[in-house]
């Protein structure tokens, strides 16, 4: 599958990306890919090992005469976000990613995420390792696990293991930019068992569906005005409270770090309110479409009869308490940065919400450039949902990456960018959880930057990468590795 990828340039990079597309690798299922990479390293005579968590390191000795050059770590994560369109059956643990080259000069997947995030960074590191014409100092390629689901690989990375002093994170998504700082974050988990009551004779069951949103990355895209399916469907449920609506179940979003594109709820209400409720939903659809115009087209909101009659629904009080708590929960941009203009400082994504058999579950992802703000927003969730008797825990917290504008590595990258591409790169701080913050906490001596090709629509089936930017990224990475080995004074 995906043989056409090997016809693209640069061929070594795209050959490795084909392997990644053909090997299922959602978070938590990277073992098959790790085994493939270990066999590949053995075939080239490259040393490799894993830490206790399973993160993979592949090493290559310096080119003769460059043994004293600073060690360079090429870093990326092996897993990818698993998202498919609702009408496209795809088993991310078994099925390869099917790709196509569009007439627009971009590579797309067919109704699923592409895995360019971070597959292209991984492919580039592998291509560097096998490049016999490249002059380089000591090289390490660090491939972490479970970045998309929990940052687990970086959080559990062995200390005292890595040897290099310079780290090139290959997990950025904008050409002409280099990142020197990122947000930290934490998962906020909310759970509760809510009381239910049997249906009464005059109640009817209905299915409420909200679909058609764009989705996207819950950090990079959080400020773009796109809809959050959970936030919007809860708003609709709140509007249906006067009709006596009671929740039976709810399912919205699939990943805490992806903006939810769809949400669905089963509810019951008095049969004589059904017509009025349907009219209200139709009005709300037009209102929401108008609010999202120009930012997120395609929203569809429907209220239809449910096929089966449920035995129970939440009590009216429990249903109202849950909907109201979700309605006021922080969602979206909380604060813009003053220190870094134009960058989101603090945000939250209502990523995954479910209700089944009275059991409520919420997984939100809080992000901030300030660790204290991450902690405060997580505590606001605790204070809010404790009011309805829920249990709250904070997991997978990771620190931000403090920018260092005076980094020698950054200066060298900017010079090369200027020489090769004729322009200075934009030096940026990203509102997303690059692993650099965690790695820097474990290895404070590291000088780090992050850069990559132009990727759009990450974490959604709209994910795509511009082909010319991949060639540009590869050439710049290759030149940087060689420049760092030669240590040229400019």
Contact present, 456 and 400 (Cβ < 8 Å): no
Return d(Cα 130, Cα 133) in angstroms, integer. 9
Q: Residue 217: which of 24, 83, 346 has the closest Cα? A: 83
DSSP letter string over 296-328? S---EEEEEE-SS--SEEE-HHHHHHHHHHHHH
Q: What are residue 227's DSSP bridge partners?
A: none
* Helix residue spans in 160-273 (DSSP H): 229-240
Q: Which residues are catalytic?
A: 79, 147
Q: What are residue 107's DSSP bridge partners?
A: 101, 465
> How many separate helices (H) and strands (E) can be counted in the chain?
12, 23
Q: At what angle do helices 467-486 and 116-129 cross, to 10 degrees?
A: 40
Contact present, 397 and 364 (Cβ < 8 Å): no
Ramachandran angles phi, psi of 238, nearest 5°: -60, -40
Side-chain half-sphere CA neighbours of 476 within 13 A: 30
Residue 36 tokens, joined = 């493939």
* Helix residue spans in 52-177 (DSSP H): 116-129, 147-150, 152-155
3-state SS assignment for residue 105 = coil
Find where tokens 């120009």 sit: 294
């Amino acid at each position: 599958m995906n043989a056409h990828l090997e016809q693209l340039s640069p061929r070594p990079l795209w050959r490795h990306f084909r392997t990644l597309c053909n090997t299922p690798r959602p978070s938590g299922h990277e073992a098959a890919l790790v085994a493939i990479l270990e066999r590949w390293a053995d075939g080239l005579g490259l040393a490799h090992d894993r830490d206790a968590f399973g993160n993979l390191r592949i090493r290559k000795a310096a080119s003769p005469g460059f043994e004293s050059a600073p060690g360079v770590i090429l870093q990326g994560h092996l897993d990818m976000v698993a998202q498919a369109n609702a009408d496209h059956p795809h088993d991310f643990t078994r099925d390869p990613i099917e790709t196509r080259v569009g007439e627009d000069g971009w590579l797309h997947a067919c109704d699923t995420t592409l895995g360019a995030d971070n597959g292209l960074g991984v492919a580039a590191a592998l291509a560097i390792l096998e490049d016999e014409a490249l002059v380089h100092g000591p090289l390490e390629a660090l491939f972490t696990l479970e970045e998309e689901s929990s940052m687990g690989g970086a959080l559990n990375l062995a200390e005292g293991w890595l040897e290099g002093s310079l780290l090139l994170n290959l997990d950025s998504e904008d050409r002409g930019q280099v990142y020197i700082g990122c947000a930290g974050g934490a998962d906020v988990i909310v759970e509760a068992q809510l009381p239910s009551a049997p249906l009464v004779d005059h109640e009817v069951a209905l299915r409420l569906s909200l679909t058609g949103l764009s989705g996207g990355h819950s950090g990079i895209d959080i400020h773009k005005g796109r809809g959050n399916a959970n936030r919007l469907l809860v708003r609709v449920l709140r509007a249906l409270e006067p009709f006596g609506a009671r929740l039976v179940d709810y399912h919205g979003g699939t990943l805490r770090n992806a903006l939810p594109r769809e949400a669905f709820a089963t509810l019951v209400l008095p049969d004589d309110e059904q017509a009025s409720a349907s009219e209200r939903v139709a009005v709300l659809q037009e209102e929401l479409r108008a609010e999202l115009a120009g930012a997120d087209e395609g929203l569809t909101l429907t209220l239809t009869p449910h096929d089966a009659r449920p035995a129970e629904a939440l009590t009216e009080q429990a249903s109202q308490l849950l909907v109201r708590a979700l309605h006021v929960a922080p969602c979206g941009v909380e604060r813009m940065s003053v220190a870094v203009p134009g960058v989101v400082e603090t945000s939250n994504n209502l990523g995954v919400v479910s209700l089944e058999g009275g059991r409520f579950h919420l997984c939100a992802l809080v992000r901030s450039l300030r660790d204290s703000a991450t902690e405060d927003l997580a505590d606001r969730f605790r204070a809010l949902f404790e009011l309805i008797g829920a249990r709250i825990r904070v997991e997978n917290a990771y620190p931000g990456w403090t920018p260092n504008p005076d980094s020698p590595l950054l200066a060298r990258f900017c010079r090369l960018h200027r020489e090769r591409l004729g322009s200075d790169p934009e030096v940026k701080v990203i509102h997303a959880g690059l692993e650099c913050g965690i790695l820097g906490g474990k290895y404070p001596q590291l000088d780090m930057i992050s850069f990559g090709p132009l990727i759009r629509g990450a974490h959604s089936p709209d994910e795509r990468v511009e082909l010319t930017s991949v060639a540009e990224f590869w050439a710049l990475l290759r030149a940087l590795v060689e420049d760092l080995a030669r240590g040229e004074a400019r």
